Each structure stands twice: as structure tokens, then as C-alpha cells.
């Protein structure tokens, strides 16, 4: 197993000590990072031991070590997946040429932009989630929140390493700017819309980690295909961490649903729309969960950008950003004469139009993402069906509630009906969480910090982290 060097100030598996200039530059960036973490990272809990995993190696199996650590002492570092000998560029006009170990001059600006945008999302989500510790439904969940947060911090390190190591002075400036922007800030917001939204409660957090971290998975998968090998290796290791974030989201929503249907059954409520009685039980009704899905799914769809995009085509042609699981796709990986069906809205009807495959790469990645989201929703529905309740959670139509791309101007219902602006507005609160929903969910957000206990709106997990027993004290909050 390729091990990580923890003897240095910045743990790494990139021989950092061999490159004094880079090491010094990163050591200079480090205090700014810690300042950012203390100012904009988790509020409170910075001086209590948290049961966190840290990477010890970069192999897919057995890379994690668990132990108690205070968050500011977490060993953030630079971890790249092992180099694949003889790797060639898998797609685009340079397909088949050896991968680049240095930045190709002609693609420098494009590459720097891709890395800086990915880098910007990482600290943004930590900022969005900073208040959640105060209302955690259990120590288990509190620990999962912090695990996600420290790993997003590490993903920032991953991108900053690339900027510092390969982009000279403009790279250092980008790395600085990543610490200056803030989620939701009027003057210096984060780059992408979904990363400036609030994450007001734990249901929103679970939805975020299910839907928005999954966008991250798709972006990272596409970048892991890159002909710029350091980016590919960086993203490949990030993906192994990302999987846990989506686990937190999927199981978090599932446990919320489970508690709702269990309490409904116990009290003999069979109608999922009997919302007042269900809410009196202190659990979140399924229609509210559906509205949260509608919101988080659609803002995450916006992250894929316009359906057709010259930037995406250029990045593909250049061999910088590929498709989801590029190497497993059976075609010429150059797409010069290929087409891809893209959903269009024509007056009141949707139809697929064959677009040049190169321009339609965002649409394709988004379609792959939608399929993946759909499987998760299917698993949630099984919990509802098993409880004998007649209700099905659904992903809304992809044109519903969009701010980016060709559907941004349209007014489409979650079922895919095209409406006028007034009719859409009149039904808005049926489809998206309103103030009343947020206030109700917020009323349930009372912290539970006693080991082994859980808030009344969420079921306990099936197994503990690293197989720890149910009453394990994941966060040692001093009394």
C-alpha cells in the first residue's frame, strides 16, 4: 500500500519535502486556511475530540484510520491516487498520447479555471453547514457532519495543491481567493448558485449531501478522466471520500422517512396528507420531504450549467474533462460526428433534439446524474412501501424550478406541465418548501448530545461508524 507521509507539517504522498519552494508556498497558505476554518468552519466544537477518519494510504481498500482528534488539529493533506504507469489521454483530440505531467501551455487558462471552480465548492459547503452542530439530532450525526466538513476542507487542499504546484503566481492568487470568498456573501459570494444557498436544518443537510455532493461526484468523475494526470489522480482519491458524504445524505433522509412512517403506523395514521396530525407526532410529513427533494434536486441540476456548451466541448476536445466513466463508454471518445439527444421545450411540448455530442456534454453528465439520483429515491420509497403507506417520492421534472440553462425562463410543474408565470407562482408552495415548512422543521431541530440517543424525528442508524456500538460517544463534549 502506498503510504502517506505524516512526519511533515503537511501530510502528503507527493514528495513535498523534495520541492522546497512548493513546500514553503503551501506552508505559507496554511495559517490562512486555519483562520478560514476557525472563522467560517463549524461553529463551536472546535476544542472537543471528534471521532474522525484520516487517510493513511491511497489505495481504495483500507485507507482510513479512525481516532479522536480536535478539528483544528486534523491532518489535512495532499493525497493523490497512485500513478498508473503508461496511462494515455483517454479522449479528445489528443486521445492515445501519453498523459501530461505538466500543464500544457495552450490549455493553461482553461485548466486553471476548472480547478478553481471545483476548489470553490469545497469550502463553500463547509460555510453553508457551519451552524448545524448546534442542532444535531445525535452524536453520531454530529460526527458525520464534522467528517464531511473536514474532508471538504481537505478537498480544498487538494485543489490548492494543484494551483500552487502547477500554476505559479496566478495559481497562488486563485488559492488566496478561495479563502476570501464566502458562501452567501453579497460582495464576495462563492462562484456557483447552489453554494450560496442556506442549509438551515438537518433535513436540508441530508438533502444537500445526497443531491449536491452527488453533483460533486459527477464533476470529479469527469475530471478524474483528465489527460492532465495530477488532476486525474487528485480527483480519483477525492471520489473515495465523496462516497461517504452521499452515504450520510442517503441514510439521513432514509432514517427521517423511517421515523415518520414508523410513528404513523404506531398511531394508526395511514393518510400521508394528514399533515397536521403527523406533525403533532414530531416527525416530518412525507409531502414536506418531497418539497425538500424538489428544491435540492433542482438547484443541483443548475450546477451542470447550460445543456449545450462550447466550454464543455473545448474542455473535452482538449482532453481536460471527460464524460462520466469515459473509459467504459464504447465509442471513439472523440465525438466529432456524434449526436446526443437533448430535451428541449418547444412551446408547450417537450421533445428530444439530437445535438452535436460535443456541445451536449453537460446535458449528458446531468442525465447520468439524474439516473443516479433516481436509484436513491427508489431506495427511500422501499421504506414507505414496506410500512404499507400509499405514497411515492419522485424526482421532479428536470425543467421544474430551474435558474440555469434553457428551462430557466420556463414555468414547468414537477409533473412536467407547462404553465404561465401566474399559475406557477400560485402553486409554488405546494411544490417547494415555504416559510411554514421551514419553521416546522426548524422547531424539531433540538440538539441531542447524549451518547446513544436520537432526536424524535429521526431513526437511529443500522450500524455505527467503524462498527462502533450504539452508545459510542462520537463527539466528546465536555460537561
- Which parts of this chain interact with Fe ion (CB under 5 A)? 122, 152, 155, 213, 242, 245
If the CB atoms of residues 158 and 293 are measured against Fe ion, the closer one turns out to be 158
Q: Which is nearer to Fe ion, 127 or 152 (CB)?
A: 152
Q: Whole-number minimum distance, CB 392 to Fe ion, in Å? A: 28
Rg (CA), the chain: 23
Does residue 383 contact residue 258 with C-beta atoms inside 8 Å? yes
Instruction: Pick between residue 225 and residue 308 the one whose CB is nearest to Fe ion.
Output: 225
We find the least distance from the C-beta atom of residue 212 to Fe ion, in angstroms, to be: 8
Between CA 294 and CA 235 the distance in angstroms is 29
Q: How far is the CB of 246 from Fe ion (least distance, A)?
A: 8
Kindly tell me which of 197 and 213 has the beta carbon lying closer to Fe ion: 213
* ∠ Cα 368 62 80 (to 5°): 65
Name which of 152 and 250 has its Cβ closer to Fe ion: 152
Is 94 or 154 the residue whose CB approaches Fe ion more closely? 154
Least CB distance from residue 325 to Fe ion, whole Å? 19
| Secondary structure in 3-state letters for the chain | CCECECCCCCCECCCHHHCHHHHHHHHHHHHHHHHHHHHHCCCCCCCCEEEEEEECECCCCCCEEEEEEEHHHCCCCECCCCCCCCCECCCCCCCCCECECCCCHHHHHHHHHHHHHHHHHHHHHHHHCCCHHHHCCCHHHHHHHHHHHHHHHHHHHHHHHHHHHHCHHHHHHHHHHHHHCCCCCCCCCCCCHHHHCCCCCHHHHHHHHHHHHHHHHHHHHHHHCCCEHHHHHHHHHHHHHHHHHHHHHHHHHHHHHHHHHHHHHHCCCCCCCCHHHHHHCCCCCHHHHHHHHHHHHHHHHHCCCCCCCHHHHHHHHCCCCCCCCHHHCCCCCCCCCCEEEEEEEECCEEEEEEEECCCCHHHHHHHHHHHHHHHHHHHHHHHHHHCCCCCCCCCCCCCCCCCCCCCCCCCECCCCCECCHHHHHHHHHHHCCCHHHHHHHHHHCCCCCCCCCCCCCCCCCCCCHHHCCCCCCCECCCC
Closest separation in Å from C-beta 177 to Fe ion: 18
CB of 225 to Fe ion, least distance (A): 18
The nearer residue to Fe ion, 112 or 245, going by C-beta atoms, is 245
Shortest separation between residue 237's beta carbon and Fe ion, angstroms: 11
**Smaller CB separation from Fe ion, 121 or 294:** 121
Give min distance, CB of 245 to Fe ion, in A: 4
Q: Is residue 335 within 8 Å of residue 320, measured between CB atoms?
A: no
Instruction: Tell me how far, at minimum, the Cβ of 122 lies from Fe ion, in Å.
Output: 5
Q: How far is the CB of 148 from Fe ion (least distance, A)?
A: 6
The least CB distance from residue 242 to Fe ion, in Å, is: 5
Classify the C-alpha dihedral 409-413-418-420 as positive or negative: negative
Residue closer to Fe ion, measured from CB, 216 or 272: 216
User: What whole-number distance in Å separates Cα of residue 134 and Cα of residue 141?
Assistant: 12
Which of 70, 85, 81 has its CA nearest to residue 4?
81
Identify which of residues 240 and 306 has a Cβ nearer to Fe ion in the complex: 240
Q: Which is nearer to Fe ion, 152 or 355 (CB)?
A: 152
Amino acid at each position: 500500500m502506498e503510504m502517506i507521509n505524516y512526519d511533515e507539517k503537511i501530510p502528503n504522498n507527493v514528495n513535498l519535502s523534495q520541492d522546497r519552494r512548493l513546500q514553503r508556498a503551501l506552508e505559507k497558505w496554511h495559517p490562512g486556511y486555519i483562520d478560514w476554518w476557525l472563522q467560517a468552519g463549524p461553529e463551536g466544537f472546535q476544542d472537543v475530540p471528534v471521532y474522525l477518519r484520516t487517510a493513511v494510504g491511497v489505495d481504495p481498500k483500507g485507507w482510513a484510520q479512525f481516532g479522536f482528534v480536535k478539528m483544528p488539529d486534523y491532518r489535512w493533506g495532499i493525497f493523490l491516487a497512485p500513478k498508473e504507469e503508461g496511462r494515455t489521454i483517454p479522449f479528445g483530440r489528443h486521445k492515445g498520447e501519453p498523459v501530461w505531467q505538466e500543464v500544457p501551455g495552450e490549455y493553461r487558462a482553461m485548466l486553471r479555471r476548472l480547478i478553481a471552480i471545483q476548489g470553490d465548492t469545497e469550502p463553500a459547503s463547509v460555510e453553508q453547514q457551519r451552524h448545524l452542530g448546534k442542532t444535531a439530532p445525535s452524536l453520531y450525526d454530529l460526527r458525520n457532519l464534522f467528517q464531511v466538513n473536514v474532508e471538504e476542507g481537505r478537498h480544498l487542499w487538494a485543489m490548492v495543491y494543484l494551483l500552487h504546484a502547477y500554476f505559479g503566481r496566478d495559481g497562488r492568487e486563485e488559492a488566496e481567493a478561495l479563502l476570501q470568498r464566502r458562501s452567501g456573501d453579497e460582495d464576495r459570494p462563492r462562484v456557483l448558485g447552489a453554494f450560496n444557498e442556506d442549509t438551515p436544518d438537518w433535513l436540508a443537510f441530508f438533502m444537500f449531501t445526497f443531491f449536491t455532493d452527488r453533483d460533486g461526484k459527477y464533476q470529479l468523475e469527469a475530471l478524474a478522466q483528465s489527460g492532465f494526470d495530477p488532476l486525474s489522480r487528485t480527483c480519483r482519491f477525492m471520489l473515495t471520500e465523496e462516497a461517504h458524504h452521499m452515504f450520510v445524505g442517503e441514510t439521513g433522509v432514509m432514517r427521517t422517512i423511517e421515523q415518520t412512517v414508523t410513528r404513523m403506523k404506531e398511531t394508526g395514521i395511514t393518510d400521508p396528507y394528514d399533515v397536521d396530525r403527523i406533525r403533532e407526532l414530531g416527525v416530518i410529513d412525507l409531502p414536506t420531504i418531497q418539497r425538500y427533494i424538489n428544491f435540492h434536486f433542482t438547484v443541483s441540476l443548475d450546477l451542470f450549467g447550460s445543456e449545450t456548451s462550447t466550454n464543455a466541448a473545448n474542455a473535452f476536445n482538449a482532453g481536460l474533462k471527460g464524460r462520466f466513466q469515459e473509459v467504459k463508454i464504447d465509442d471513439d471518445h472523440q465525438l466529432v460526428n456524434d449526436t446526443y439527444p437533448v430535451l428541449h421545450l418547444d412551446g408547450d411540448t417537450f421533445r428530444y433534439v439530437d445535438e452535436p455530442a460535443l456541445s451536449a456534454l453537460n446535458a449528458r453528465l446531468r442525465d447520468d446524474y439524474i439516473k443516479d439520483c433516481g436509484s436513491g429515491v427508489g431506495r427511500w420509497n422501499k421504506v414507505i412501501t414496506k410500512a404499507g403507506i400509499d405514497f411515492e417520492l419522485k424526482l421532479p421534472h428536470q425543467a421544474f424550478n430551474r435558474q440555469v440553462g434553457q428551462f430557466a425562463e420556463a414555468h414547468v410543474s414537477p409533473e412536467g406541465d407547462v404553465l404561465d408565470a401566474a399559475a406557477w407562482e400560485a402553486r409554488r408552495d405546494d411544490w417547494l418548501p415555504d416559510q411554514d415548512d421551514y419553521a416546522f422543521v426548524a422547531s424539531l431541530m433540538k440538539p441531542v448530545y447524549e451518547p446513544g440517543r436520537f432526536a424524535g424525528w429521526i431513526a437511529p442508524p443500522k450500524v455505527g461508524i467503524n462498527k462502533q456500538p450504539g452508545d459510542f460517544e462520537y463527539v466528546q463534549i465536555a460537561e
